[in-house]
Structures are given as C-alpha cells and as structure tokens.
Amino acid sequence: MSLRSRQRKAAVPNIPYVPLCTYHMSRLPRFFISAGQVSGGSIIVAGEDVHHIAMVMRMRAGDKLMLCDGKGTEYTVKIVDVGRSDVKTEIVSRSEKELPNLRITLGQGLPKADKMDFIVQKATELGVSSIVPIVTARTIVKIKDEGKRIVRWQKIAREAAMQSNRIDIPQIGGIRKFSDFIENLDSGSRQLLLMPWEEGTEPIKNILRQKPEAQDIVILIGPEGGYSSAEATAARDKGFRLVSLGPNILRTETAAMAVLSMICYEFL
C-alpha cells in the first residue's frame, strides 16, 4: 500500500453507527381523540388515523399508542383489534397534564401561495394557541374557498401537534379583516400586544422582558409588503407595541417564526 493510500485510510474516522430514529422510537405514537371516543375502559380510533396506524405504521394487536383528548388528558392504550374502519384499544393508564398558562394568538396577514401551510405547521411546533388569518391593506391573495382552507389548516395544525408531542391543538380561526381583528380583542392586565413593524423602534427583547407576567400575547404579522402606516397607527391606538426585530427585513413566514421563538425563549 502506498503512503498516500495509507494516509487516506487513516483520515477516515471510526464512527459508530447510531440509528437516526432512536429518539422517536422511544416515544409512543401520539394521536388526538374526542371525548366521545372514550367508553369505559376502551377507546375506538376512527377516521384518517386508522390508515396511518394500520398501513403506514403497520401496528398490530398488542402494540401501544398514546391518545390525547386535547384538553390535558393522555391515555396509554393497547391495540386490541385493527379493522378497516377503526382501531379498538383498551386503556392501560391515564394521566393528566396542565395546559400551558401562556396563551399566544398569531394574527397572520394572509401570504401568497402555500406559505400559510408552513406558518401553521411551524407556529404549532412553537406553541401558538390560536392562529387567525387576516386580510390587510396589502394582502394580495384572494381566498375563494375559505371553508376548505380553514379545514386544511386545522388538519395541518393537528398533525404538527402530534409530531411535536403537544397535548393540545391550536385553533384556526376564520379569516378576518384587520380592523375587525384589532377592534374585537379581549383586554386584560396580563395581556401583551405586539406588532413587529419595519419602522418600529422598540426592540422586541426589551418589551418581552418588561412584562414577564404576561399570560396572553397577541402578535400581528403582516403579509408580503408588511403593514401600512395607517394600520400601524390603528394598532398602536389599540394598545399594540410597534416593535423591531432587528435591522434586517424578514419575510412574513420568517417574522412569525422569529417572534414565536423569542417568546419561547423568554417565557417557556
């Protein structure tokens, strides 16, 4: 063997093989159910989850699942029978978890294309409580099939909640006009209203740290093109803090994730 060959061989480290899915395999697969699916000591899983359990995950009688009611109750169950239209399970154990004290509402200016799908998915992973699509002065997209879109976004939120191990599912509200949204907000002493704006002068970090007792945070994120000066003024008059996310201009989907990540860092 030549010296060059020995050097190439020696440069390759002996790295042990580690399965990529080790972490995920340590958790039971998680699905959401409604209270009506629980009957005594058994729970019947129905709908699209049946296909995922039977055909995608190839689960059989004796395998275990985690079923959540979205209100803090979790059931560890064992599969009894896998049918074509339902999966019958028996409850092995039950536990109660507290829902987060912090409620985060994302008022998202409707973006173009499928960006809203991405925003709903990632906002769910980052702990948002509800998402309200908003039509603003600079909204370009026209939604003709609102009902179908809301159903789609709610489905994406449910799947993201399962994947991220949440105990609840964010609610997707109906599409609202900007003025209607800011006029009909509930108020409270522990509420924090935030509007990231390209002309905002208050660093969001400072605002978040000024109110550590906040339990209800409402965020306004603009669509492509951002908010108009008139909208920013209207929001400020309703108590929103016009905050800065830094010197760079962020895309609408990036801005939402940036704000939610900062809130997670400061409050969770």
pLDDT at 19: 37
Among 96, 121, 155, which residue terminates a domain?
Answer: 96
Q: Is residue 111 part of a domain?
A: yes
pLDDT at 26: 60
User: Per the structure, how many domains does the chain have?
Assistant: 2
Element containing residue 73 per DSSP (H, E): strand 73-82
Q: Which residues have a Cβ under 8 Å from the Cβ of 116 and sit 6 or more positions away? A: 108, 110, 133, 149, 153
pTM, whole model, 2 decimals?
Answer: 0.86
Residues 225 and 162 in one domain: yes
pLDDT at 55: 92
Among 61, 96, 131, which residue terminates a domain?
Answer: 96
Residues 120 and 169 in one domain: yes
Task: Report how far apart, in Å, the C-alpha atoms of 100 and of each of 78, 121, 127, 194, 256 are.
Answer: 28, 19, 9, 20, 20
Residues 251 and 222 in one domain: yes
Among 96, 114, 139, which residue terminates a domain?
Answer: 96
Residues 115 and 194 in one domain: yes
Give dist(CA 53, CA 59) in Å, integer.
Answer: 6
Q: Is residue 10 part of a domain?
A: no
Token pair, residue 194, equals 């935030």
**For residue 30, what are the domain limits?**
22-96
pLDDT at 143: 87
Q: Is residue 2 part of a domain?
A: no
Q: Is residue 147 part of a domain?
A: yes
pLDDT at 95: 95
E strand map for 2-58: 30-32, 38-39, 42-46
DSSP string, 82-134: E-SSEEEEEEEEEEE-PPPS-EEEEEEEPPSTTHHHHHHHHHHHTT-SEEEEE
Residues 60 and 185 in one domain: no
Residues 117 and 49 in one domain: no
CB atoms within 10 A of CB 40: 7
CATH code, domain with 86: 2.40.240.20
Residues 140 and 238 in one domain: yes
Q: Is residue 237 part of a domain?
A: yes
Quick one: DSSP state of residue 71? S
Residues 87 and 191 in one domain: no
pLDDT in tens, the chain (268 residues): 554 444 444 444 444 433 333 334 468 999 999 988 999 999 999 999 999 999 999 999 999 999 999 999 999 999 999 999 999 999 999 999 999 999 999 999 999 989 999 999 999 999 999 999 999 999 999 888 999 999 999 999 999 999 999 999 999 999 999 999 999 998 888 999 999 999 999 999 999 999 999 999 999 999 999 999 999 999 999 999 999 999 999 999 999 999 999 999 999 8
Residues 87 and 136 in one domain: no
Beta strands 86-96; 73-82: pairing state: antiparallel
Residues 43 and 161 in one domain: no
CB 104 within 8 A of CB 124: no
Quick one: which of 169, 202, 192 has its CA closest to 267? 192
Q: Is residue 214 part of a domain?
A: yes
DSSP string, 186-214: ---TTEEEEEE-TT--EEHHHHHHH-TT-
Residues 216 and 164 in one domain: yes
CATH code, domain with 185: 3.40.1280.10
Q: Is residue 254 part of a domain?
A: yes
Q: Is residue 17 part of a domain?
A: no
Residues 243 and 131 in one domain: yes
